[in-house]
Amino acid sequence: MKIVVLDGYTENPGDLSWSRLEELGEFIVYDRSSLTDEDEAISRIGEAEIVITNKTPITKRVLDSCPSIRYIGVLATGYNVVDYTYAAKKGIPVTNVPGYGTDTVAQFTFALLLEICHHVAHHSEAVHAGRWEQSPDFCFCDYPQIELAGKTMGIIGFGRIGQKVGTIAKAFGMKVLAHSPHEYASGKAIGTYVNLDTLLAESDVISLHCPLFPETEGIINQATIAKMKDGVILLNNGRGPLVVEQDLADALNSGKIRAAAVDVVSAEPIKGDNPLLTAKNCFITPHIAWATKEARQRIMDCAVNNVKAFLSGAPENVVNQ
């Protein structure tokens, strides 16, 4: 059994072990594979029966060019890098890793929000630069401080991560509104389900945790921004294309949106002409909300179990049945 990992570095930069996959057959892992050169993916897959990818696309051409493929595992929850519909037609199960990042991504969401509220890094740098030492007062602030208690958090996408974010928001004394295509019973104990227009109109903070589907692509745009409160804070730890970035940049520059913090953008790595790079009050981190060692270990464990389940004839976490 030949197993190929096409882009293993972000999952395991050296602090985890591939040994449990190595035990299952002839194993090779590449740190990175081209995101655009299908020929490279085809060459690296070769006669492999098990292919594991994170962000390297597995297209129709790749599938047709590699007839030995029997199984594809994605080292993430999102699986749109694989032509999973065509894979299903060829009888190839595609699996993902659900639920690994719930605590980590929720924690990071509040790291972003609290940075907006307090600008901790900026003020620490100012102290180290000697500005507190030179201050005539016992304290100084370059930015207004924001208290979260009593404010409303609107969460678009109220699955595992959205509900965890809501639970933390409640611990800060916030009211929680949720918009989701499915109204989970567990969510009703955390927040109030409302339609999108109500959430946009009443939220002081809006956090995106929905998957990227045709109906959610560009859900934050000029029209939906116009329905928001003046001075709202926007957070995106979901998918970059949920936001029309030029519309968000315009809203930040006009002051309609007070601040935004995004861990994802429409094209990754970010391109130099992304309008968010020059927008006012926009915090951008490089898609790291998922990347604690603990979360990556859960990905590794689930990926191994997915392969073992496939080999046993009872595949789990199949997304294209």
Residues involved in catalysis? 239, 268, 287
**Residue 68: what residue type?**
S
Backbone angles phi, psi at 12, to 5 degrees: -140, 85
CA dihedral 60, 62, 68, 72 (to 10 degrees): -80
Lookup: tokens for 124: 């620490």
What span, in angstroms and rounded, lies between the C-alpha atoms of 125 and 62? 49
Nearest alpha-carbon partner for 156 in 249, 44, 239:
239
What span, in angstroms and rounded, lies between the C-alpha atoms of 234 and 254? 14
What span, in angstroms and rounded, lies between the C-alpha atoms of 143 and 36? 43
Q: What angle do CA 121, 126, 130 make, to 5 degrees?
A: 145
